[in-house]
Structure 1
């Protein structure tokens, strides 16, 4: 996969209608995905616009799944959204459409080799939520994480591309997918209490049982005698292993794309560190980073520090 230029194939700047559609998607991203927004600010304009279109479409899918509608209505809305994706794929979305997200996504798909099937996978993953699926093992949960997050990594790679001559470039989709799994598992740990309050449990039942947490969380507290801290630290180790594998993507990307990925991954990795330090914090409220710390992580990504570290680890050298 070659690098994705800022304006692929010498493409002209977006028309006023498309530019307005991108502005709408960027506003959605800034308002609803601050961690994601910190990363994509580091990208050239066309790539930032494409990533905001991907996010806005993904946000629409997630909002249907998380909304107050009845399950059968959610399923119908998700299938309507899949039909819209089909029109985007077929190039059947005019620039004067009243749906700015569809307009922006269609333009992004024309400019970049985005594997739009990843958005079908996202819809499949949200349908799992609507059906109230639970997961017996990590392998089952991994299937869900691949749909809702790994697919986003692969979609993003379509915007980023890889640098010419990069070693293991053919592994880039695997690394992008794995990094998505790491981010999603971090999300699951961070949102344990929120999800429990909504009647959802994502952590594998086998893991819950192993640490005495199979009875769930009542009022934000684990069952008596449970080793909740042990459960969280077990999942943290799994997430860290996923990060270690997924961050091998960084040396395969150009500087700006690597900075974007490094910033997003860095924010979530620091969240994971906070959770490991105080596992019960996730039962007291949402663990987050202050804006100043997020900005520091983004600056570190732009400096290339994490990219160079990932390159050393990929080459088999120890950390410095």
Structure 2
């Protein structure tokens, strides 16, 4: 059975990544594409690398016919999905790639995003979209809230260790290097080649990065008490990919064994041998996560290294993984792509 899907916000990076993945998916058919400023254009005009595909013309959302659509991927700007999803037919399943439904507490949403949530009833029904930890809830959900790419990387590193109580919950430091596509496709001065080329810089420092809201929520839920990690992301002159180094107090052997057991049956998460570290290029353009644990020279200290592709496992790939579950497809369908290398 083929399921018809719509991609709302198809002109952004995550929209293009969704198209790339779904184009070879045997169970999904792209039936509608939307864009705002680029409505009326062919996708080849927006992304020439997709010219080999036969795709619908980009339309405004209000021009789309949802009569035959089974699932919508919403790759819309933050604070836009709330209003749009509220207008969709209730029978249409939704995977939202924005931040609009990630935080369960409405007060936390307003704290991190600076405005009240406009669809609180919808928010109550949303399931957090990190498949490896919410698989059964996602399977029966109507609305799934895709995770932040930074938040996903940190959680893959730490959630099993937090649940098992094998690290000190009051000493978690996450240092993250992030590719520039995570900032989206909009023109921004700080993302120009002349500004970012040969340049690295930290952003969202001092506890101001919005993905801390997800860390607080999910780490605290895993621990059964309040957990506040220290987090610094650094923008690097690379198009895609995330490398997270999480510095923790705990025994490296125990941490490695805990993560290895937690991910033993996960098709997309690979634990490296103790002492080995992963590289971003080894997961480029895939739905895979590689994790390594290293014992530090100070006794009882360890670093957990994790890599993923922010556009795939951190966003569009995770969204397709969720959609597979929601539509009764095999979870890995369309996602077992090998990395692009070199």
Instruction: Provide the TM-score with structure 2 as the length reference.
Output: 0.31
TM-score (norm 1): 0.33
Select the structure with the greater relative contact order (CA < 8 A; seq sep ≥ 6). Answer: 1
Where is the strand percentage greater, Structure 1 or Structure 2? 2
More helix by share: 1
